[in-house]
Structure 1
């Protein structure tokens, strides 16, 4: 009888392991998009669910409805958005044992901010698809159907990205990095300069939390006309004082001064650099399934 009980217990353990739920996935959309657009994030959510059976997928909605979610991608202080997401994820029982995060465009650096500032529950892999981790300097065009919001954004950035009320209101100003005015950027930018540890005081929690990731996957679009410079998607940027020469991640102050654990993570094999031939967020379902799904299925 004892041997039979052991066999039954072993069989039950094996069955439980075999049918354990996969790691949940959290999605954060980009500018001009929303959580549930059937042609964008809705389709991505479905694609993940089709390829990872029984997975729980949460596509973040910032606001009370889709219209508010889209508008908040332009006009809601990013720090407040991150606070909202920290609370939302902490209260979701489906995420209690951790999750993978995948961000699209600006949603990528917002999810990184979640990791650095909160990370309870803990993120395992962070997949950044076209994220602007060193920010942008240039606003060539704007996606989405809301041309009014796009035009308002352009005009406010032209007025002055580092004016206090613009910083507090306009999302894109909060990851605007002017290579000609780095001191002003470091002093007045309220989001990106903070999560990149460029405010003068090193936040060790940011470093430790980011280093806790199993993987940070950085996807760059080789013909990107939306992100200037596109190398920001791999933590590169313009060399200080001009907007022509590009420096790579390992030439930046963030890397060389260990403001973030990029060197440590790179040496440990925790950063994967991927590229897609095409413009911003232009990829096929086949590419997503073959290249990105494996990171989300771990």
Structure 2
């Protein structure tokens, strides 16, 4: 009898130890860079990855690489159809064994709206929290400047956008055209946009998109109050220009995306899962301490 009790105690101890080990493991983090950047730039995504790892012990951080090299990753941020990028990332996440119990996602600039598309289209493995840092969720109507050393490339993109953002060939190949939202011609935008109009339910309503987005524990939207990159910067909080002109703006709460709850934003807000953060700085210009205090400590730990 005593031997059996000792055996039972040993089994329970092992099981409890295993449970404690599993339950205390930090939730993995997936990050997606913005335009002109790459997965592993030591001055941007590389430093963000290290910052997360430093502040969340033993966390697994995957910085998404779109392609097979840093150069290819950077170019694909300009010239790979966004829907193809989404499909590629869905496959990467689905085959990553470390993510199968769920992960938190942080998207920077255009990576923010791309990760929202992942949440809407690819619910497995489950995205738990989505943090959009300067993501342009209602698109952009302007291309003022470019990050890093990509000014020549950006000038080429400007010319293509000026030539015709809704030209079929440009829509299928130029990333920035795929979230170009012309408020002067809403009908053409809705008819020709191959990416943004779809994930924003502008033409037909895909109930699965709404259902999947509402599975998030939290949707966090970061807006840069002095942003000179995103036009209009209100897009980072789902605001945009009122149709027919490019001066007056509406807020997310005035948008059909919210009033008609096309995406589930109203539901997320009503249940306390929609959060608006701001940084009084230019695009993606934040301190490490701001990121720790507002992102890591509040939503990832």
Q: Return the match for 2:36 from 32, 55, 68.
A: 32
- Displacement of 1:230: 0.7
d(CA) in 2 for partners of 1:162 and 1:183?
11
5+ residue gaps, structure 1, are: none
Equivalent position of 1:228 in the other structure: 231
1:195 aligns with 2:191: no
Q: Return the match for 2:60 from 53, 56, 60.
A: 56
What aligned pairs does 1:1-16 form with structure 2 within 5 A after superposition? 1=2, 3-5=5-7, 7-16=9-18
Partner of 2:178, secondary structure, is helix
- Displacement of 1:11: 4.0
Equivalent position of 1:271 in the other structure: 274
Distance 1:180-1:91 versus aligned 2 partners, 3 A rule: same
- Displacement of 1:3: 5.0
- Displacement of 1:253: 1.2
Equivalent position of 2:142 in the other structure: 138
5+ residue gaps, structure 2, are: none
Equivalent position of 2:122 in the other structure: 118
Partner of 1:232, secondary structure, is helix
RMSD over aligned CA atoms reads: 1.4
Bigger mean CA deviation after superposition, 133-142 or 146-155: 146-155
Partner of 1:128, secondary structure, is strand
8 Å Cα contact 2:145-2:151 kept in structure 1: no
8 Å Cα contact 2:117-2:199 kept in structure 1: yes
Distance 1:263-1:296 versus aligned 2 partners, 3 A rule: closer
- Displacement of 1:291: 1.3
Bigger mean CA deviation after superposition, 139-148 or 245-254: 139-148
Q: Return the match for 1:103 from 104, 107, 120.
A: 107
- Displacement of 1:294: 2.7
8 Å Cα contact 2:35-2:109 kept in structure 1: yes
Distance 1:270-1:296 versus aligned 2 partners, 3 A rule: closer
d(CA) in 1 for partners of 2:213 and 2:20?
30
Distance 1:288-1:17 versus aligned 2 partners, 3 A rule: farther
d(CA) in 2 for partners of 1:162 and 1:296?
38
Q: How many residues align?
A: 297
- Displacement of 1:191: 0.2
Partner of 1:184, secondary structure, is helix
- Displacement of 1:66: 0.1
Equivalent position of 2:241 in the other structure: 238
- Displacement of 1:53: 0.9
Large movers: runs of 4+ above 6 Å: none
1:290 aligns with 2:293: yes
- Displacement of 1:242: 1.1
